[in-house]
Amino acid sequence: MGGAAIAIDWRFAAVLTVLLGAAALAAKLSGLRSSKGLVTAGLRAAVQLAAVSLLITWVLTAWGPTAAFIVLMVAVAAFTSARRLGTRRLHWAAAAICAGTAPVLALILAAGTVPFEPVAVVPVAGILIGGAMNATSLAGRGALDALRDRHGEYEALLALGITEQHAVRELCRPVAAQALHPALDQTRTVGLVTLPGAFIGVLLGGGDPVQAGATQLLVLIGLLAAETLAVATITEAVARRRVLPA
């Protein structure tokens, strides 16, 4: 085991248990009502990562399993976002996620920035899908909440002769744009506040700091593009009444 590798033994399990327990306890004592969700999420992450660790070698052997795995990632991301939005219309969540992920991933691969190999495509696709999923959930939920909480303003805009779609856009776009704040903050502070995963991963894999920095920059800018496209798509879906508040 290399000196930079994580030691997977009883100490690893103990640290994870203590951290997850502390998070759940803090949530319970502070009245956040999310302690059960935290524990469930942690346990699911452990099981899912264990399964992926066993399957990933097979997944990366050929393009068939790789493509199937990427489709599975999109499907799970769409289901997660749709549930967060409170809608059964998975296809609109999937459309927003794909609208953000597909063009960014296609450009990166077409330009040769990332090798066109399963071992490189899967992690990049996963990062972009995850970012687009989060942005879709936050933007969509914010837009739907704005429609509910500011219904009076919505009706006032209609009374002024503004079309329904323009009225929804007027109310929802400022709120939906807030979904980009986490990605913007991470990009603005990278290297000063945090050293994100792609940077550390390249270093742990034996790459030099310049390669690590270039990789992380590609990921951050790619995420900004993917999440912006996803936010624009889900906001437009809400404006066109394709995704409705519960």
Closest CA to 233 of 96, 111, 118, 135: 96
Looking at the fold, whether 46 and 65 belong to one and the same domain comes out as no
Are residues 45 and 78 part of one domain?
A: no
Average pLDDT of span 96-114: 93
Tell me if 245 is assigned to some domain: no
| Residue 129 shares a structural domain with residue 10 | no
Segment among 61-70, 98-107, 130-139, 155-164 with least mean pLDDT: 155-164
Residue 246 lies in a domain: no
Q: Is residue 134 part of a domain?
A: yes
Cα-based distances in Å from 94 to 27, 77, 202:
31, 8, 30
Task: Give percent of the chain with pLDDT exceeding 90.
Answer: 37
Same domain, 24 and 122: no
- Token pair 């609109």 is found at 92
For residues 98 and 40, state if they share a domain.
Answer: no
Residue 15 belongs to some domain of the structure: yes
Q: Residue range 177-186: average pLDDT?
A: 89
pLDDT tens per residue, range 38-83: 999 999 999 988 888 888 888 888 889 999 999 999 999 999 999 8
Using the structure block, give the residue that is written with the tokens 């009076």. 152
Q: In this structure, is residue 157 part of a structural domain?
A: yes
H helices present in the chain, as ranges: 10-29, 35-59, 63-85, 90-110, 118-149, 151-159, 164-177, 181-189, 197-204, 209-239
Which residue range forms the structural domain that includes residue 12? 1-59
Q: What are the backbone angles phi and psi of residue 168, rounded to the nearest 5°?
A: -65, -45
Q: Which of 148, 159, 128 is nearest to 222 (CA)?
A: 128
Residue 44 lies in a domain: yes
Residues 77 and 52 in one domain: no
pLDDT of residue 167: 80
Q: Does residue 68 share a domain with residue 45?
A: no
Same domain as 152, residue 31: no
- Does any domain span residue 208? yes
What pTM value is reported for the model? Answer: 0.81
Report the number of distinct structural domains present in the chain: 2
> Are residues 156 and 235 located together in one domain of the fold?
yes
**Which of 31, 59, 87 finishes a domain?**
59
Say yes or no: 53 and 72 in one domain: no
Between 30-34, 66-70, 108-112, 133-137, the lowest mean confidence (pLDDT) is in: 30-34
Cβ burial 14-32 (10 Å sphere, 16+ → b, else e): eeeeeebeebbeebeeeee
86 and 15 within one domain: no
82 in Cβ contact with 220 (< 8 Å): no
Residue 210 belongs to some domain of the structure: yes
Q: Are 114 and 217 in a shared domain?
A: yes
Is the pLDDT assigned to residue 163 strictly greater than 90? no
Instruction: Give 2's pLDDT tier (boundaries 50, 70, 90).
Output: very low
